[in-house]
Amino acid sequence: MSEKRGCFKIGCLGCLGVATLVLLVIVVLVVLGLLTGGREERFEPIERAYRVRAAGSPGTVEIRRSDEPGQALIAHEIDVAEPGRIVLDLNRGSFEVRPGPPGESIRLEGRYDAGHFDLTESYETYGETGWTYRVSFDQRGFGIRPFVQHEPSENLVRLIVPRDAPIVLEGRVGIGESELELGGLWLLGVDLDIGIGEHTVSFGEPLPIPMGRLRLDASIGALIVDRIGNASPREVWVKHSIGEVGVDLRGPWRRDAEVFVRCGIGECDVRVPRNVDLEVDRASVTIGEASRPHDRPAPEAGRPTLKLSVSGNIGEVQVH
């Protein structure tokens, strides 16, 4: 009988401890919400600009295949020793990148709630032509109110990049939604971590020179990468953890490339153009269904070759 009373007493104490912990967490959240969420909304327009350093012109790019058998395409590109760097750190909003007219400044426009969010920028130069532009956007402090009241589209941050500025784009686009239109830019490389939400990276028109490396590492939601052939990167890495992935490799490829797509849980769809030679190293999924094209045209001399590797953990993988 005493053993049962002891167990009952221990159980009651345990339940009381759990209840106390839950109550304490609620109290802390409420206090933090009152401290930081009580500020009034104060939407302000975004109108900022930085004049970037000029670095010449990308000029004409000659793409040819080596005379030696089995050699890949050779891209003769202008050497940019000191490109500009655009570093993104964006969270909890709607974000856009657009190409702008040549010879103009980097511009930031849109609107945001300055009562609950912080928007910061910096621009610094190095060497003769190098520069780094950083932009950061996120919720101020911690509160309940901003999570509940704000839709991502209420905070809009749009970055306009001049077409004649050689740049490397890197950093993070976090929770929210984004539409990054990079077509037409003098883009040397892309290296981005992408958070929860709906995100699109698009190359709507050819770049002046082929890009080096495209790396996108996304987490949860939908990721669409459109018309990668217009960028003709030497190497493509697309990784996504949970959700829908769409990788469109169409466009006028100007050199050989290696393409790696890694999907976690969800649907993975890869579209391959017919104007390239295709080598599928892998198209598989651990649990689910996978398909690959079987009606490819015969290889032709002088066409770029895409070496493709696509894999998933759980879900569906389609290469078509």
Q: Which CATH number fits domain 43-52+72-319: 1.10.150, 3.30.310, 2.170.120, 2.160.20?
A: 2.160.20
Enumerate the domain spans of the chain. Answer: 43-52+72-319
If you search the block for the tokens 């959240």, which residue do you land on?
29
Residue 198 confidence (pLDDT): 97
Residue 3 confidence (pLDDT): 53
Side chain identity, residue 269: D
Residue 61 confidence (pLDDT): 44
Residue 208 confidence (pLDDT): 93
Q: What gap in Å lies between CA 73 and CA 2, rounded to an integer?
A: 84
Residue 172 confidence (pLDDT): 98
Residue 73 confidence (pLDDT): 41
Q: Phi and psi at residue 29, in whole multiples of 5°?
A: -65, -40
Segments in the chain below pLDDT 50: 8, 10, 13, 28-32, 34-37, 60-78, 143-150
Residue 65 confidence (pLDDT): 44
Residue 17 confidence (pLDDT): 57
Residue 293 confidence (pLDDT): 80
Residue 226 confidence (pLDDT): 98
pLDDT in tens, 174-221: 999 999 999 999 999 999 999 999 999 999 999 999 999 999 999 999
Residue 140 confidence (pLDDT): 86
Q: Which residues pair with 125 in a beta bridge?
A: 131
- Tell me the two tokens of residue 206: 């050819």
CB 216 within 8 A of CB 233: no
